Amino acid sequence: MNKWGLVVAVVVVLAVGLALAAGTSLWSPAARSSAPAEKHETNPAPTASLPQETPGASDNAAAAGAGGGMAAIQKASAANRYLFVFFWKEENQPTAAMRQVFQAATAKVADRADAVAVNVADPAENDIVAKFELDRAPMPLVLALAPNGAVTGGFPSTFSEQDLLGAFATPCTEQCVKALQENKLVLLCVQNGATKSNDAAMGGVRQFQADERFRQATEVVMLDPTDAREASFLGDLKINPKTPQAVTALLAPPGNVIAEFEGATSKDELAAALLKANSGCCPGGSCGPGGCPPQP
């Protein structure tokens, strides 16, 4: 299953606060942009050097009833752990059934993830409800949060253990998702000491990021193609992990890969790719709840 596409669904969910129409473990193939990313090749430059307690929630029990959800987020982040949050509103059969699934799944990953249950009707939990705009979201609902705060999975109403267990993401995916959910552009730089044109590839990236039009809305993420942890991410993006050339991918909210460059890049090429994506965005310049990428 291609995970990356579902970042689109998760970002849109966060933007509208209620459109969790389909459970997503980060992404869905159908959510990827229908248009393929532009491919660019350049002459290579010389190689450069380079309210029921849930398993896992006991540690958060002291904070429960007094903003326990936000406290759990802070605690998990400080410990560099994932957090699964079970949001519920009414004690009924669907809530009980999904709570059981939640408990079983989170017990299996208690070594690397915390879990907490949040009653959205509890005034003490208003902060976390407002943070994720869940006042009208279907319940029960589970959100999976990476240590950096990225929402790597959103599961409304009904979900399986497999859904929840598939919400863990790679380190670079977490960085990209976090930036995209903050409505930023991402320049994903795939290179290492063995790839060619590293400096030439970074030249355009640095110029683009330094431009006042993009400075506040651009995140640069470095990815070593030989890092085994990132194999699934590279596979989703269709980037060869054995690429001989540095590869630069330009990602825009809600999660579209709008251009890929092999070898050297330039600020003008990156800006042109962004302009083209914006021009085909949607009538009126609105791509949906998150709008279009930043304008060049």
pLDDT of residue 22: 39
Give the percent of the chain with pLDDT over 90: 69
Domain count, the chain: 2
pLDDT of residue 6: 55
Secondary structure (3-state) at 202: helix
Tell me: do 42 and 179 sit in the same domain. Answer: yes
The token duo for 245 is 């050339």
Yes or no: say if 250 and 205 are a contact pair by the CB < 8 Å rule: no
Backbone angles phi, psi at 225, to 5 degrees: -65, -15
pTM of the model: 0.79
Asked if the structure places residue 9 within a domain, the reply is no
Tell me: do 38 and 181 sit in the same domain. Answer: yes
Please spell the DSSP secondary structure of 171-191, one letter per residue. HHHHHHHHHHHTT-EEEEEE-
Ranges 34-48, 84-98, 180-194, 225-239: which has the least confidence: 34-48
Tens-digit pLDDT profile for residues 195-232: 999 999 999 999 999 999 999 999 999 999 999 999 99
pLDDT of residue 64: 39
Q: Quote the domain boundaries for residue 134.
A: 58-165
Domain boundary among 165, 199, 223: 165
Asked if the structure places residue 248 within a domain, the reply is yes
Domain boundary among 143, 165, 187: 165
Residue 205's domain is classified under what CATH number?
3.40.30.10
Domain boundary among 165, 193, 226: 165
Ranges 8-22, 89-103, 211-225, 244-258: which has the least confidence: 8-22
Angle (CA) 62-146-86 rounded to 5° is 50
Tens-digit pLDDT profile for residues 118-142: 999 999 999 999 999 998 999 999 9
CB 86: neighbour CB atoms within 10 A?
A: 27
pLDDT of residue 35: 44
Burial grade of 135 (CB within 10 A; 0-12, 13-18, 19 or more): exposed
Pairwise CA distance, residues 256 & 210, whole Å: 22
